[in-house]
C-alpha cells in the first residue's frame, strides 16, 4: 500500500491543478479594480463626540475570482464633535470582500477587515493625536453599468475607540462609526 501512496498523491495533485487551471481560464472576472465612495458617517460616541459628517474613501483591490477579492482603501471621516470635544479621523483599511452575483448585472457583497486610523483631537483645549486600529464590517449592492464599470450602495460599521483622555474627567471615549455611502468602481 505504501508504494501506491505517491502515485495516488500525484494523481490527486494533477487533478486539482488541472481543475484550478480550467477554473482560472473560465473566470474572466479576476483582476485589479479601483474606485471611490462618498457618503455620510454617523459618529456614535460619548458626550460631545456624537455627530454626523461627510465621508470620502478611495479604494483599490484585486478580484481573485468572481466571488472573492482583497481590497485596501484610504478613508477620511472628516471633522466631528463640537463644543468642548472635537476630533478628526482618517486611516487605511485592508479587507476581504465576498461577492454573490444575483443577476447578470446585480451583485451583493459583504466585506470585513482591519482599519488603521489616526485621530487628532481637541478636548477642552488639550490637543493630541492617537494612532489605533479597529475592526470593520460592511455590506452592499453593486450594479454593473458595463462589464468594467459599477455603481454601488454600501453600509459599513467601524468599531473605533478614541483613547484620548478627557481633560475634564480622565475617561476614555468609545465611538462607533456607521457609514452609508454610494460609489463607483472600475475593473480592469
Q: CA-based Rg of the chain, rounded to a whole angstrom?
A: 22
Closest residue by Cα to residue 93 from 118, 74, 111 = 74
- Give 56's Cβ-side CA count (13 Å radius): 3
Over residues 144-153, mean pLDDT: 95
Rounded CA-CA distance 113/34 in Å is 18
pLDDT in tens, 64-99: 999 999 999 999 998 877 777 788 889 999 999 999
Give CA–CA dist 164/45, Å, rounded: 12
Q: Kindly state the helix (H) or strand (E) to which residue 124 belongs, with its residue range.
A: none
Nearest CA among 89, 43, 55, 77 for reference residue 183: 55
Name which of 80-89, 117-126, 127-136, 173-182 the model is least confident about. 80-89
Mean pLDDT of 17-28: 51
Q: Do 109 and 103 contact (CB within 8 A), yes or no?
A: no
* pLDDT grade for 43, boundaries at 50, 70 and 90: confident
Structural domains of the chain in order of their starting residue, each with its CATH number = 30-187 (2.40.160.20)
Task: Compute the average pLDDT of residues 113-135.
Answer: 87
Q: What is the pTM of this model?
A: 0.75
Query: pLDDT category, 174, cuts 50, 70, 90?
Result: low
The Cα 47–Cα 49 span in angstroms is 6
Amino acid at each position: 500500500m505504501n508504494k501506491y501512496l505517491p502515485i495516488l498523491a500525484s494523481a490527486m495533485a494533477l487533478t486539482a491543478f488541472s481543475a484550478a487551471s480550467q477554473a482560472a481560464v473560465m473566470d474572466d472576472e479576476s483582476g485589479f479594480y479601483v474606485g471611490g465612495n462618498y457618503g455620510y458617517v454617523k459618529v456614535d460616541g460619548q458626550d460631545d463626540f456624537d455627530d454626523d459628517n461627510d465621508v470620502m474613501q478611495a479604494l483599490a483591490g484585486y478580484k481573485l475570482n468572481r466571488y472573492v477579492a482583497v481590497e485596501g482603501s484610504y478613508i477620511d471621516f472628516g471633522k466631528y464633535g463640537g463644543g468642548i470635544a472635537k476630533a478628526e479621523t482618517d486611516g487605511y483599511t485592508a479587507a476581504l470582500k465576498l461577492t454573490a452575483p444575483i443577476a447578470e448585472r446585480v451583485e451583493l457583497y459583504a466585506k470585513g477587515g482591519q482599519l488603521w486610523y489616526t485621530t487628532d483631537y481637541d478636548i477642552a483645549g488639550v490637543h493630541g493625536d492617537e494612532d489605533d486600529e479597529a475592526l470593520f464590517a460592511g455590506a452592499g449592492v453593486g450594479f454593473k453599468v458595463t462589464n468594467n464599470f459599477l455603481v454601488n450602495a454600501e453600509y459599513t460599521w467601524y468599531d473605533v475607540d478614541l483613547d484620548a483622555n478627557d481633560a475634564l474627567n480622565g475617561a476614555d471615549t468609545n465611538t462607533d462609526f456607521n457609514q452609508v455611502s454610494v460609489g463607483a468602481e472600475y475593473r480592469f
